[in-house]
Amino acid sequence: VNDEESPAGDLEARRGRVLGASYRLFYDEPIQVVRGEDVYLWDADGRRYLDAYNNVASVGHSHGEVVSALAEQAAVLNTHTRYLGAEVVEYAEDLIVTFPGSLDRVVLTCTGSEANDVAYRLAKVVTGGNGVLVTSNAYHGVTDAVAQFSPSLGPAVAPGPHVRAVRAPDTYRESTDGIGQRFAADVATAIDDLRAHGLRPAAMFIDTVLSSDGVQTGKAGYLRPVQEVLQSAGVLLVADEVQAGFGRTGHMWGFERHGLEPDLVTLGKPMGNGHPIGGLVGRSELMDEFGRTARYFNTYGGNTVSAAVGRAVLRVIRRQGLVDNSAAVGTYLRSRLRDLQSRQPVIGQVRGEGLFVGLEIVDADGRADGDRAGHLVNGLRHRGVLVNTTGPHANVLKVRPPLTFSAAHADVLADALEEALLEDFKRS
Ligand SMILES: Cc1ncc(COP(=O)(O)O)c(C=O)c1O
């Protein structure tokens, strides 16, 4: 915690007074960030940090082309979708071509939560049910409806009676061969259980990297059996791409890696590189059925400036080859981390896809070691490298840098982690 006498400590105290208890800060000594550029953040004292955590500024902090698109459009016009405007249409066209042909309609929101909320409304309309399936430590957002199917919010937010949280795959502890079948069988049981309680299942929401379940990227295709169960039960599959989307996994979309054909796809975070844009993409027959009965207007969703920003982000991803960079640098980063793992058995597993990497931190018996993971996060922070933890036991180091990360940055991260591990052994 920052010293109260210091400027950062004073700001922390003032923040606590006005923002209150529901806001949390990262790190034992919170950082006052004042500037960002590409993969770097600077604090108020001018110290530079390598950002290996932010998937929002996914094409790099303060990217010039995105900032210019925002400023130039804001200087001309910013209005909403009740007027005919070329910008939002062009953005929707640019976005849709990145999806398989069957996913051909888009609805724009401001956040990932809103996108999941609209997806849930739509699923209720087209299936006539309200049952929802999610993974056991899922996070899908903040609205009342969505929080009820976000079990990672903890026991204070009770899951709705219409929600079934299915034990998430644990790619460290379960066998690679059986994991997809086991997960699919549990989803089938949960569907039966909803029906046994007189509830009709409407949708399953799956974060296609299972980020909050501990970055359970697993073997490509292991989520296919779940899709088969959902299809035969008439339950919609919503691929939540708020974490996995826009090139993060070395594929444009996380669902592609598993060969999934989702009914709906929800988008957020990297979509605007820091500007609040979210969206829902889906099959026209579903989207149009919803649209016939429900008018959709979102004051800011699809506004002219957001559309210009969204287009710029797509352009930058394409022009800078960021999907391929994510795949190549992610592979290199994991090879460096696996080398470290061979010397440091507290790293039980190095997993991930593209630039979404999870390191399972374990004790001598292979049990989740959240304390050590927390120490490592802070050890890295004090060495100028930013990561965080995830998973139900907060023992998985989550490494998820901007997609412009290079092999040289990966080396800095791996070297700093080795130092943090050595220091942590001295402590324990
Ligand atoms: C998988 C996933 N879905 C949805 C959301 C909600 O997005 P937002 O914070 O933009 O509402 C998040 C945010 O962390 C997320 O990780």
- The answer to whether 278 touches 302, Cβ cutoff 8 Å, is no
Rounded to the nearest angstrom, the distance between the alpha carbon of 54 and the centre of ligand 1 is 13
Q: Which atom of ligand 1 is nearest to the CA of 276?
A: 10
For the Cβ of 405 lying below 6 angstroms from any atom of ligand 1, the answer is no
Contacts of 24 (CB under 8 A, 6+ apart): none
- Select from 231, 213, 238, 216 the least CA-distant residue to 135: 213
Indicate which residue's Cα is closest to atom 13 of ligand 1. Answer: 141
Alpha carbon distance 15, 408 (integer Å): 36
Alpha carbon distance 211, 394 (integer Å): 11
Strands 356-361 and 385-386: unpaired
Alpha carbon distance 275, 377 (integer Å): 27
Give 11-57 pLDDT, tens digit per residue: 999 999 999 988 999 999 999 999 999 999 999 999 999 999 999 99
DSSP E strand stretches across 188-247: 201-207, 236-240
Indicate which residue's Cα is closest to atom 11 of ligand 1. Answer: 113
Task: Identify the band that residue 426 occupies on the pLDDT scale cut at 50, 70 and 90.
Answer: confident
Average pLDDT value for residue range 230-238: 98
Q: Which atom of ligand 1 is nearest to the CA of 142?
A: 11
| Structure confidence at residue 179 (pLDDT) | 97
Rounded to the nearest angstrom, the distance between the alpha carbon of 240 and the centre of ligand 1 is 9
Task: Identify the band that residue 244 occupies on the pLDDT scale cut at 50, 70 and 90.
Answer: very high
For the Cβ of 149 lying below 6 angstroms from any atom of ligand 1, the answer is no
Computed from CA positions of residues 240, 242, 245, 246, in that sequence, does the dihedral angle turn out positive or negative?
positive
Rounded to the nearest angstrom, the distance between the alpha carbon of 268 and the centre of ligand 1 is 7
Rounded to the nearest angstrom, the distance between the alpha carbon of 138 and the centre of ligand 1 is 10
Beta bridge partners of 201: 131
Rounded to the nearest angstrom, the distance between the alpha carbon of 228 and the centre of ligand 1 is 26
Indicate which residue's Cα is closest to atom 3 of ligand 1. Answer: 140
For the Cβ of 398 lying below 6 angstroms from any atom of ligand 1, the answer is no
Q: Which atom of ligand 1 is nearest to the CA of 138?
A: 1
- The answer to whether 347 touches 382, Cβ cutoff 8 Å, is no
Average pLDDT value for residue range 304-313: 98
Other CB atoms within a 10 A radius of the CB of residue 258 amount to 25
Task: Tell me how far CA of residue 261 lies from CA of 11, 163, 217, 271, 328, in angstroms.
Answer: 47, 23, 17, 21, 25
pTM above 0.95, yes or no: yes
Rounded to the nearest angstrom, the distance between the alpha carbon of 209 and the centre of ligand 1 is 13
Q: Which atom of ligand 1 is nearest to the CA of 278?
A: 10
Judged by phi (left if over 0) then psi (alpha if -120 to 50, else beta), residue 150 lies in beta
For the Cβ of 140 lying below 6 angstroms from any atom of ligand 1, the answer is yes
| The residue to which tokens 């888009």 are assigned | 106
Rounded to the nearest angstrom, the distance between the alpha carbon of 166 and the centre of ligand 1 is 19
Strands 278-283 and 264-267: antiparallel
For the Cβ of 55 lying below 6 angstroms from any atom of ligand 1, the answer is no
Q: Which atom of ligand 1 is nearest to the CA of 111?
A: 10
Other CB atoms within a 10 A radius of the CB of residue 426 amount to 6
Average pLDDT value for residue range 99-115: 97
Alpha carbon distance 60, 305 (integer Å): 19
Predicted confidence (pLDDT) at residue 125 exceeds the cutoff of 90: yes
| Structure confidence at residue 8 (pLDDT) | 82
